[in-house]
Structure 1
Amino acid sequence: MLRSPRLIHLTVTLAAPGRQCLRQSPSPRPLLFPYARTGTEHAIRTSSILPNQTSPPSPQGQALAACSDLASQKFSLIYAFPAIKALRAVSRLKLMQTGITAALLPTVSYFYLQGQASGAQLTYATGIAAFAAVMLYVMSHYIRRVVGMMYLDSTQTILKVSHLTFWGHRRDMYLPVADVKTVADTGDVQGEVILQLKQFGCSDTLYFSLRFGRVVDRQGFEKVFGTLS
């Protein structure tokens, strides 16, 4: 029996939203604040499945709430790198030096245009400013990847990693313990001066040292990175 065009149009209209809800692209593997990002993805999926919801939860609010929950949890120290304070001082001194040389360059250029400075002096000032900027970039690139402290939560499922930012401030990362590679997984040999802190499916790398650092909680440390002996 033939259906009327109006009935066919109504059938297609009702079926289309159901097919769209089933099309969900796989989410990428989270790196930083993984639980906060998981909460964001959950909020997005909820808003797509319930289109008639008047006030869907905000993804930003879900992410901030998850980060706040992680920050409020109790973590115990398992690793500390005492020299991180010296690296922070070096980072800030390098920022100050670069700022001073960059501020002096316009002054030298002005004196050169007024005929009160030679071309050699302008070239020398430009070279110093450029060298300071390059050294700042190189030093901050490695200093930002040095692990200062590592903590483990009471359930031993979340690893809190503290390192420095470009400006010399502290930054905390929350990583699932199951996603952190052991020393054997990274290919490092126990006894090396510098070891890698890596995650499965992620190319970003941080560095820590057992020779210059201090393992505070051996059992908790081995829970994350494997046995030390």
Structure 2
Amino acid sequence: MLLRAVSRLKLLQTGITVVLLPPVYYMYLQGDASDLLVVYTTGIALFAGTMLYTASHFFRRVVGMMYVDSAQTTLRVSHLTFWGKRTDVYMPVSDVMTVGDAGDSIGEPILKLKRYSRADTLYFSTRFGRVVDRHIFEKVFGTLT
């Protein structure tokens, strides 16, 4: 929820700075704005765009929730899109690497969610999140001890 709000605020901030650029350049061309204002406004817009890209790259890779179906064969993983909306990815449990296979140790605060069939990596936390059913979690990701 917090990452979703921050993601949308970054979009809003970037949008506002991009909308402000044309009037500032117009005022500069008319002689009503100083060089410093143009440089300052352009710098803020570039910084906002860079931060939007960086933040959205991070936010898209953080897992919000994970669910296993009743047959315990499919894992549904929820994460954010670039626009701050929730999207679900479905993957077979047999395709999900255990914590040990992903190269993490159990005590780490952030763990990798990797698959055998794809190179992309998502991240989740058992320290900041909550494991509702430990037995199913260990079936998918391996033991916690």
The TM-score bracket by the shorter chain reads over 0.9
- Within 1, Cα distance between the matches of 2:69 and 2:117? 23
Alignment equivalent of 1:218, drawn from 131, 134, 139: 134
1:144-179 per-position Cα deviation (integer Å, ceiling 9, x unaligned): 100000000111000000000001000000000000
Matches within 5 A, 1:191-210: 191-210=107-126
Higher relative contact order (CA 8 A, sep 6+): 1
Structure 1: state its 5+ residue gaps. 1-84
CA–CA distance in structure 2, aligned partners of residues 88 and 154 of structure 1: 28
Unaligned runs of 5+ in 2: none
2:106 to 172, 190, 205: 190
1:89 and 2:5 correspond: yes
Equivalent position of 1:52 in the other structure: none
Of residues 2, 7, 15, the one that matches 1:99 is: 15
Matched residues in 2 for 1:161 and 1:97: separation? 28
Output aligned runs, 1:1-229, within 5 Å. Answer: 85-229=1-145
**In the TM superposition, what is the alpha-carbon distance from 1:138 to its structure 2 partner?**
0.2
- Supply the AA of the counterpart residue of 1:112: Y
Cα distance, 1:217 vs structure 2:
1.1
User: Percent identity of the aligned residues?
Assistant: 68
Give the match's secondary structure for 1:149.
strand
Larger Rg: 1
Q: Which amino acid aligns with 2:20?
A: L
Please identify which structure carries the higher strand content.
2
Cα offsets for 1:73-123 (capped at 9, x unmatched): xxxxxxxxxxxx001000001100000000000010010011000111111
The alpha-carbon deviation at position 201 of structure 1 amounts to 3.3
DSSP-derived class of the 1:203 partner: coil
Q: What TM-score, normalized to structure 2? A: 0.98
**C-alpha distance in structure 2 between counterparts of 1:190 and 1:223, whole Å:** 15
RMSD: 0.6
In structure 1, distance between residues paired with 2:7 and 2:90: 24
Q: TM-score, normalised on structure 1?
A: 0.63
Using the alignment, how far apart are the partners of 1:194 and 1:88 within structure 2?
19
How far apart are the structure 2 equivalents of 1:201 and 1:158?
15
Which 4+ stretches in 1 moved above 4 angstroms? none
- Size of the alignment, in residue pairs? 145
